[in-house]
């Protein structure tokens, strides 16, 4: 049985939050400061409220739940206005099974449907697993970097990957 991807609804906010926290704690271990990751569990209720509001009023973004056998195992966020993939997040237990690739292609196809010819995404420079996924799927680092410092005192570097001429992919 494959994954099902559907739009996130306000009633998904708690499962979405739990996925968000679990994924960050595993995917960003050794990248994002440990103290920040450990403190995410204390943010459940504010995040649930945040996601309820976002799902009611998503603006230019589309939020998707990734389901397997009725359970949320990840999520996708795309920004139609900027032609960016903001998130392709999957619980650690499901890494290496092809779901990430399927999720990435879903996001690409949604942005192509919105008639974008170039798609961008940002990834932590030290997130080698995600970088390999993007590179295997024709994204390339365009040389652009930015420092994100809101996750503690340690500046975190993100790099931009771009998929050019995606209408032909």
pLDDT band at residue 116 under the 50/70/90 scheme: confident
Sheet holding 156-163, edge to edge: 4-7, 61-68, 71-79, 84-90, 119-124, 156-163, 140-148
The answer to whether 94 touches 74, Cβ cutoff 8 Å, is yes
Specify the pLDDT at position 2.
86
As its CATH architecture, domain 4-168 has: 3-Layer(aba) Sandwich (3.40)
Q: How confident is the model at residue 1 (pLDDT cuts 50, 70, 90)?
A: low
Is the per-residue pLDDT at 152 higher than 70? no
Q: Would the pLDDT of 169 be above 60?
A: no
CB burial of residue 80 (10 Å; 0-12, 13-18, 19+)? middle
pLDDT band at 167 (very low <50, low <70, confident <90, very high): low
Report pLDDT digits (tens) over 19-68. 999 999 999 999 988 888 999 999 999 999 999 999 999 999 999 999 99
Q: How far is CA 135 from the centre of its chain?
A: 16
Alpha carbon distance 54, 47 (integer Å):
10
Phi first, then psi, for residue 93 (nearest 5°) are -60, -15
Rounded Cα gap, residues 114 and 62, in angstroms: 12
């Amino acid at each position: 049985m494959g994954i099902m991807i559907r739009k996130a609804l306000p009633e998904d906010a708690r499962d979405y939050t739990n996925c968000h926290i679990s994924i960050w704690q595993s995917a960003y271990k050794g990248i994002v400061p440990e103290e920040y990751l450990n403190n995410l569990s204390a943010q459940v209720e504010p995040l649930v409220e945040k996601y309820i509001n976002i799902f009611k009023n998503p603006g230019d973004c589309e939020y998707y739940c990734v389901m397997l056998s009725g359970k949320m195992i990840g999520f996708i966020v795309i920004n139609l206005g900027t032609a960016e993939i903001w998130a392709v997040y999957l619980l650690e237990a499901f890494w290496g099974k092809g779901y990430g690739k399927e999720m990435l292609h879903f996001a690409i196809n949604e942005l192509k449907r919105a008639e974008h010819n170039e798609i961008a995404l940002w990834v932590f420079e030290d997130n080698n697993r995600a970088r390999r996924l993007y590179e295997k799927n024709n994204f390339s680092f365009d040389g652009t970097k930015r420092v994100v410092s809101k996750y503690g005192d340690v500046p975190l570097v993100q790099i931009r990957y771009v998929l050019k001429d995606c209408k032909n992919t």
